[in-house]
Amino acid sequence: MIYFFIFLIGISFGSFLNVLIYRVPNGLNIAYPPSHCPNCKTPIKWYHNIPILSWLVLKGKCYYCKTKISFRYPLIELISGLIFLAVFIKNGVNLFSLNIALIFLLLLALSMIDFEYKAVPDSINLTALTLSFFVSNDILENIKNALLLAGIFSFLRFYVSFYVSLKEEHFLKTRVKNSPWLKSFYPKFIMVEALGEGDIIVAGTIGAILGLKLSLVALFISAILAIFPSIYLRVTQKDYQLPYIPFLAMALFIVYIFDERFNYLLEQLYG
């Protein structure tokens, strides 16, 4: 029974998460005005704003103007409810679980925004990082792990950027060799930034929640999760940049929920 309430709390937060996902990137106030239909601007009555249920009852349309309401809204609410359930079942019914579940919800918002805009608002990202310092009693240890992972991820970013830049430079040099008139079009030094700055903050959040060892496992898993979509996109769309935060967030969730199994695996590998 308690888990039913936790699920309800989760989908309620999910409802608010939809507001964040829509309003924060657009620079809108998150509290005012109250929810309204994006098409006809009619304020939404509370009984038309019940998470998941209202969308089902209204068959995914605005009650007034019948404009279609994206399936994304009830989906985010449902996922939020499931995240709450998973975290509370794993970690017990306590305030730490609430904190961790909220961090996962913020990461879900960041993932959705990253997919759409290829950038994420620092306000949400830093809120998640700050909350992650308090996922357990040992706040100093959590901050230390956040710093470690942010550092590791920064180094990784330098290495990957350096490598990509070298490749790019080589490519341009060969082109200039073949047609010297191109020279004036190209910059002397090429600096390609691989991985976004927002990713580093998320890495810090991962560090605080998982600790050093499991965080490295999560980074590894995030890379594996991203491989197939990035190959697919390379073949179908040339210039599309794959957002990385969704994969970091998914990997964090997987390793967090199954941490015992991953710990066991690590022990088998390293004795």
Provide the mask over 60-79, with x wherever binding to Zn ion is found by CB under 5 A and - wherever it is not: --x-xx-x------------
Task: Compute how many other C-beta atoms are within 10 angstroms of the C-beta atom of residue 215.
Answer: 26
Phi, psi of 92 (to 5 degrees): 85, 165
How many of the chain's residues bind Zn ion (CB under 5 A)? 7
Is 218 within 8 Å of 255 (Cβ atoms)?
A: yes
65 or 212: whose CB is closer to Zn ion? 65
Which of 28, 30, 40, 56 touches Zn ion (CB under 5 A)? 40
16 or 64: whose CB is closer to Zn ion? 64
Told to check if 93 binds Zn ion by CB under 5 A, we report no
Is 30 within 8 Å of 24 (Cβ atoms)?
A: yes
Provide the mask over 9-38, with x wherever binding to Zn ion is found by CB under 5 A and - wherever it is not: ----------------------------x-
Stretch that binds Zn ion, among 39-47, 138-146, 165-173, 200-208 (CB under 5 A): 39-47
Stretch that binds Zn ion, among 58-66, 80-88, 114-122, 141-149 (CB under 5 A): 58-66
Q: Helices 245-257 and 72-91, interaxial angle, to 10°?
A: 30
Structure tokens at 260: 């015992």
Told to check if 39 binds Zn ion by CB under 5 A, we report yes
23 or 66: whose CB is closer to Zn ion? 66
Smallest distance from the beta carbon of 38 to Zn ion, in angstroms? 8
Residue type at position 47: Y
Is 110 within 8 Å of 198 (Cβ atoms)?
A: yes
15 or 125: whose CB is closer to Zn ion? 15
Secondary structure of residue 121 in the 3-state scheme = coil
69 or 107: whose CB is closer to Zn ion? 69
Report the C-alpha gap between 247 and 46 in whole angstroms: 35
Smallest distance from the beta carbon of 235 to Zn ion, in angstroms? 40
Phi, psi of 36 (to 5 degrees): -145, 160
Structure tokens at 57: 């009852």
Please report, as ranges, the residues that interact with Zn ion according to CB under 5 A: 37, 39-40, 62, 64-65, 67
